[in-house]
Amino acid sequence: MKNKKQNFLLLLIIAGIYVSTISVAADPTLESFSIDPEKPAPLSDITVTADIGGEGITAVVVHIKECNKAQGVCFSQQSGTMTESETEEFQAQFTLKEDKADYIQYYFDITINGDEVRLLDDSWTIDLLVDSNNNTSNGDNGTPGFELIILIIAIGVGFILFRKKRLR
């Protein structure tokens, strides 16, 4: 009787360990993320390195979105398959494409034990090194209109003609 109880308990423990192992494997986590250079400039080359926790990871794809905070826009997205380094971290290289971007946002698609899992968090962003004078113009604001240019030309011509007349 005692043996049966012990065996049952042992079975429970083994089952518990097995289930928890599966749970860990099914939920990859982003242990750390770094970017080189630490604060890249728009249009620069970057290397992203991610330490992804989890057993049974066979593929990691990183997606990088280039966005502008003030404008509240994301311009484009790039995706890259990450390669595993000797330190078991995953790396990928990109060339940033958007000159008006001031931050990048990243997320991952991870293939783990045959299933695809998306790792995504709104807080996963990296600020880019931008020139503080690099303000984006919003369409027509700040540039002289066609009407104003015509008026200036008309006033100029009128002034020249008036002066010519006065000099005679």
Partner 1 sequence: MIIRSIDKKPILVVTILSLFLLSGCLDSSVEIKGEDFTFITLDGEEKHLSDFYGKIIVLDLMGVNCGPCFNQMFELKSVSENYSSDDVTIISIDVWITYGETSELLQSYLEYFNQELGIDLDWIFGVDDTEGSIQNKYATSGVPTLYILNKNGKIKYTNVGYEEYSTLASEIDKLLS
Name the residues that contact partner 1, by CB under 8 A: 63, 65, 67-68, 71-77, 79, 98, 105, 107, 120, 122, 138-140, 145-147, 150-151, 153-155, 157-158, 161-162, 165
Which CB, 20 or 79, lies closer to partner 1? 79
- Please report the sign of the dihedral spanned by the C-alpha atoms of residue 146, residue 148, residue 152, residue 158: positive
Hunting for tokens 């971007």 — which residue is that?
Answer: 101
As measured in angstroms, the least distance from the Cβ of 100 to partner 1 is 8
As measured in angstroms, the least distance from the Cβ of 75 to partner 1 is 4
Which CB, 10 or 151, lies closer to partner 1? 151
Nearest CA to 101 among 126, 54, 52, 67?
67
Q: Are 119 and 30 within 8 A, CB to CB?
A: yes
Which CB, 67 or 92, lies closer to partner 1? 67
As measured in angstroms, the least distance from the Cβ of 73 to partner 1 is 4
114: tokens are 């045959």
As measured in angstroms, the least distance from the Cβ of 9 to partner 1 is 40
Q: 108: Cβ–Cβ under 8 A, 6 or more apart, which residues?
A: 30, 50, 52, 60, 61, 62, 63, 118, 119, 120
Which CB, 39 or 69, lies closer to partner 1? 69
